[in-house]
C-alpha cells in the first residue's frame, strides 16, 4: 500500500508552516515557533514557498523530485526522532490553531497533530527495523522518485557482483553478473585453469528490474561441457572490451557425495550486508580460497536489505570473492519475501530455490 497519507501530512505541515511564517504575527503574541522547532519549520516553509504548495490538496507523489522528497523526508525524520521537538511542535500547533478558530484549519491541525503524535514516529521506527538508509530509501520505495544505481557511473560497462550457481545438469555452471548500462552482448568465456586462454564461450541474456529505484542490468550465461573434478578460468563481459578479471572455479568430482569424497557445504543464514557479517565472510572466503568448500548454501535472510537496493549491491560485492569461486545457492527467508505493505523482491541473481 503506497498511501499518500504521510506525504499529505508532511506537505500540509509545510504549507501551514509557510503560511504562518509569511503572515505577520499578531502582537503581542509570543513567537510562533519555539527554538527547537524553528530550523526544521523554516526549511519546510522554504520548500512550501518554492513549490507554491497549498494546504489542500497536497501535491501528488508524481510531482515530487528526488531531491525534494529526500529533503522533506529528512526534516520529518529529524522531527519524529526528537520527542521534545514533537511535543513543542504539538503545543505550538494547538496554540496557533486555536487562535485561528477556523473549522477547516482546526481539522487540518488535528490531522497533523495525530500524525506527529503517532504516525511519524511509528513509520520511522518501522523503517529503522528494516535497516534502511532513511530518507533515500523512503523516496525510492514508498514514493519511488529516487534511483539507486547498482554500480560506478565511471565504469558503466564493467562487470561486477559475479555469482556462480548450479543448474541441475552435470557439466554446467551458471554465472550472473551486473553492469550499470546495457551491453551489446552478455558473454562468458572459459578454459582450463592456468592455460592462459579461453577457447570456449557462450552467449547469455540480460534483464533488469526497477523495484526500489534500482538501476542496472543483470546478465546470465551458462558454461557447458565441463569435465568433472576439473578447474577452469573464466571471464564475463560484453564479448568485446569490457571483461571482468579472470576468476577460477572447480567442478564437482565424479564421486562427490561418497564416503571417499564427501560433499563439502558451508551452510549459513541470517547474514547481513553490513559489518556484522565481516567475520563470517572472511572465514568462508578463507575456506574457499583453501579449496575446502564445494558450495555455499545460504538458507535465508540474505543481506537483510529489506528492499533497500543499495544494500543488495553492497552484499553482492561483499560475497563476490566467495560466489565467483564456488556455487552460491540460496533459499528465501522472511527478510526477502514480499512484506505487505511493501514488496521486497529477491534480486534475480539470487532467485534460485532450495531443493
pLDDT in tens, 164-203: 999 999 999 999 999 999 999 999 999 999 999 999 999 9
Q: How confident is the model over 58-73, as pLDDT tens digits? A: 444 456 789 888 887 7
Q: How confident is the model over 257-304, as pLDDT tens digits? A: 999 999 999 999 999 999 999 999 999 999 999 999 999 999 988 988
At residue 60, the pLDDT reads 44
CA 262 to chain centre: 38
Which residue would you say has higher pLDDT here, 95 or 233? 233
Q: What is the CA radius of gyration of the chain?
A: 26
Q: Residue 138 — very low, low, confident or very high, per pLDDT cuts 50/70/90? A: confident
Map residue 38 onto helix, strand or coil: helix
Q: Which three cell numbers stand for residue 31?
A: 513567537
Residue 78 has pLDDT above 80, yes or no: no
Q: Which three cell numbers stand for residue 111?
A: 490531522
Residue 239 has pLDDT above 80, yes or no: yes
Cα(205)–Cα(212) distance, integer angstroms: 23
Q: Which three cell numbers stand for residue 45?
A: 516553509
User: Among 310-319, 326-335, 336-345, which stretch is predicted with the lowest mean pLDDT?
Assistant: 336-345
Mean pLDDT for 235-248 is 94
Which residue would you say has higher pLDDT here, 10 or 254? 254
Q: Residue 116 — very low, low, confident or very high, per pLDDT cuts 50/70/90? A: low
Q: Which three cell numbers stand for residue 281?
A: 565472510
Residue 206 has pLDDT above 60, yes or no: yes
At residue 128, the pLDDT reads 62
Residue 33 has pLDDT above 50, yes or no: no
Mean pLDDT for 76-86 is 67
Residue 28 has pLDDT above 60, yes or no: no
Picking from 293, 288, 323, 341, the residue whose alpha carbon sits closest to that of residue 127 is 341
Mean pLDDT for 335-354 is 49
Cα(10)–Cα(169) distance, integer angstroms: 55
Residue 29 has pLDDT above 80, yes or no: no
The CA-based angle 337-272-120, given to 5 degrees, is: 65
Q: Which three cell numbers stand for residue 272?
A: 547481513
At residue 124, the pLDDT reads 62
Mean pLDDT for 320-336 is 90
Domains of the chain: 5-141 (no CATH), 148-350 (2.60.40.380)
The share of the chain scoring above pLDDT 70, in percent, equals 64
Map residue 100 onto helix, strand or coil: helix
Mean pLDDT for 77-88 is 68
Contact partners, residue 255, CB within 8 Å, separation at least 6: 261
Most confidently modeled range among 29-38, 115-124, 290-299: 290-299
Most confidently modeled range among 18-22, 56-60, 123-127, 269-273: 269-273
At residue 88, the pLDDT reads 73
Cα(221)–Cα(200) distance, integer angstroms: 13
User: Are the C-beta atoms of 131 and 137 separated by less than 8 Å?
Assistant: no
At residue 65, the pLDDT reads 87
Mean pLDDT for 113-125 is 63
User: Are the C-beta atoms of 309 and 214 separated by less than 8 Å?
Assistant: yes
At residue 77, the pLDDT reads 75
At residue 17, the pLDDT reads 43
Average pLDDT of the chain, as a whole number: 78
Residue 35 has pLDDT above 70, yes or no: no
Amino acid at each position: 500500500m503506497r498511501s499518500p497519507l504521510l506525504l499529505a501530512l508532511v506537505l500540509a505541515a509545510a504549507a501551514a508552516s509557510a503560511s504562518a511564517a509569511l503572515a505577520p504575527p499578531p502582537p503581542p503574541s509570543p513567537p510562533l515557533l519555539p527554538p527547537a522547532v524553528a530550523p526544521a519549520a523554516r526549511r519546510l516553509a522554504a520548500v512550501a514557498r518554492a513549490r507554491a504548495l497549498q494546504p489542500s490538496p497536497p501535491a501528488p507523489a508524481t510531482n515530487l523530485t528526488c531531491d525534494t522528497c529526500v529533503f522533506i523526508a529528512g526534516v520529518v525524520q529529524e522531527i519524529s526522532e526528537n520527542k521534545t521537538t514533537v511535543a513543542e511542535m504539538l503545543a505550538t500547533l494547538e496554540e496557533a490553531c486555536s487562535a485561528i478558530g477556523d473549522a477547516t484549519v482546526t481539522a487540518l491541525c488535528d490531522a497533523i497533530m495525530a500524525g506527529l503524535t503517532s504516525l511519524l514516529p511509528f513509520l520511522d521506527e518501522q523503517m529503522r527495523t528494516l535497516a534502511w538508509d532513511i530518507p533515500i530509501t523512503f523516496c525510492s520505495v514508498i514514493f519511488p522518485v529516487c534511483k539507486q544505481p547498482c554500480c560506478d557511473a565511471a565504469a558503466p560497462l564493467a562487470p561486477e557482483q559475479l555469482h556462480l550457481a548450479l543448474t541441475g545438469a552435470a557439466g554446467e555452471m551458471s554465472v550472473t553478473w551486473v553492469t550499470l548500462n546495457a551491453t551489446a552482448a552478455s558473454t562468458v568465456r572459459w578454459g582450463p585453469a592456468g592455460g592462459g586462454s579461453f577457447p570456449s564461450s557462450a552467449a547469455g541474456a540480460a534483464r533488469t528490474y526497477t523495484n526500489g529505484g534500482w538501476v542496472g542490468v543483470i546478465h546470465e550465461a551458462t558454461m557447458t561441457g565441463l569435465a568433472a573434478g576439473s578447474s577452469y578460468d573464466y571471464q564475463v563481459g560484453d564479448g568485446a572490451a569490457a571483461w571482468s578479471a579472470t576468476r577460477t572455479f572447480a567442478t564437482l568430482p565424479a564421486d562427490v557425495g561418497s564416503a571417499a569424497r564427501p560433499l563439502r557445504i558451508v551452510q549459513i543464514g541470517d547474514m547481513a550486508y553490513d559489518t556484522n557479517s565481516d567475520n563470517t565472510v572472511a572465514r568462508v572466503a578463507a575456506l574457499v580460497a583453501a579449496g575446502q568448500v564445494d558450495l555455499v548454501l545460504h538458507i535465508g535472510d540474505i543481506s537483510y536489505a529489506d528492499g533497500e537496493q543499495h544494500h543488495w549491491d553492497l552484499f553482492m560485492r561483499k560475497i563476490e570473492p566467495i560466489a565467483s569461486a564456488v556455487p552460491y545457492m540460496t533459499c528465501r527467508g522472511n527478510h526477502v519475501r514480499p512484506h505487505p505493505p511493501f514488496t521486497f523482491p529477491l534480486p534475480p541473481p539470487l532467485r534460485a530455490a532450495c531443493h
